[in-house]
A = this chain, B = another copy of it.
C-alpha cells in the first residue's frame, strides 16, 4: 500500500466559476452547456478546463455524472450521501431520492451469485408535472 492519494486542489477563478454555476442550476447539464453559459455571462473558462474541473468535482463526490442515451455526459451538483435521481426527460429537472430497499436488494442478489465489491446504478426517468401540462 502506498500513501493515500491526496491531490492538492488549488482554488482558482475557473474552478470557483464552474462550481458556482452548478450550485445555481438544478438538473443535469453537459460540459458543453456549462462552457457556453460561462462564456455568455462574461467569465469565460476554457473548454478543457471545464472538463478538468468537472472531473475533479466528481472525484471529490460533489457532483454526479450521468450518461445520456447518446453517450454525452451530464453533470449535477449533488448531496454527498448516496442517492439516486428522478429526472425529467423534457426539461432536465431532477429530484434526489433515497432508496434503502434497493440497497439491500442489490447486496443480497449479488451475494447469492457470489459477486463481491458490489456497486449499483439506478436512475428513474419520466415527465414532470410542468412538462406534462405543456
- Contacts from A to B (Cβ < 8 Å): 67, 71, 73, 86, 88-89, 95, 97, 99, 101-102, 105-106, 109-110, 113-129, 132
A115–B99 Cα distance when bound, in Å, is 17
Bound Cα distance from A123 to B106, whole angstroms: 9
Least distance between A17 CB and chain B CB atoms (Å): 25
| Residues in B neighbouring A132, C-beta threshold 8 A | 114, 116
Q: 7 more A-B contacts (CB under 8 A) besides A86-B110, A102-B102, A117-B127?
A: A101-B101, A115-B127, A116-B132, A118-B125, A118-B126, A119-B124, A120-B125
Residues from chain B with a CB closer than 8 A to the CB of A88 are 115
Please give the count of copies of this chain that the complex contains: 2
Nearest 3 Cβ contacts at the A-B interface: A115-B126, A114-B129, A118-B126
- For A109, list chain B residues within 8 Å (CB): 86, 97, 99, 124
Distance A102 CA – B88 CA, assembled complex (angstroms): 19
Q: Mind listing 7 A-B residue pairs with CB under 8 Å? A: A67-B71, A95-B113, A97-B109, A99-B105, A102-B122, A114-B132, A115-B124
A88 to B99, CA, bound (A): 23
Residues of B within 8 A of A110 (CB): 86, 124, 126
Evaluate whether A113 and B86 lie within 8 angstroms (CB atoms) in the complex, with A121-B121, A126-B118 already known. Answer: yes
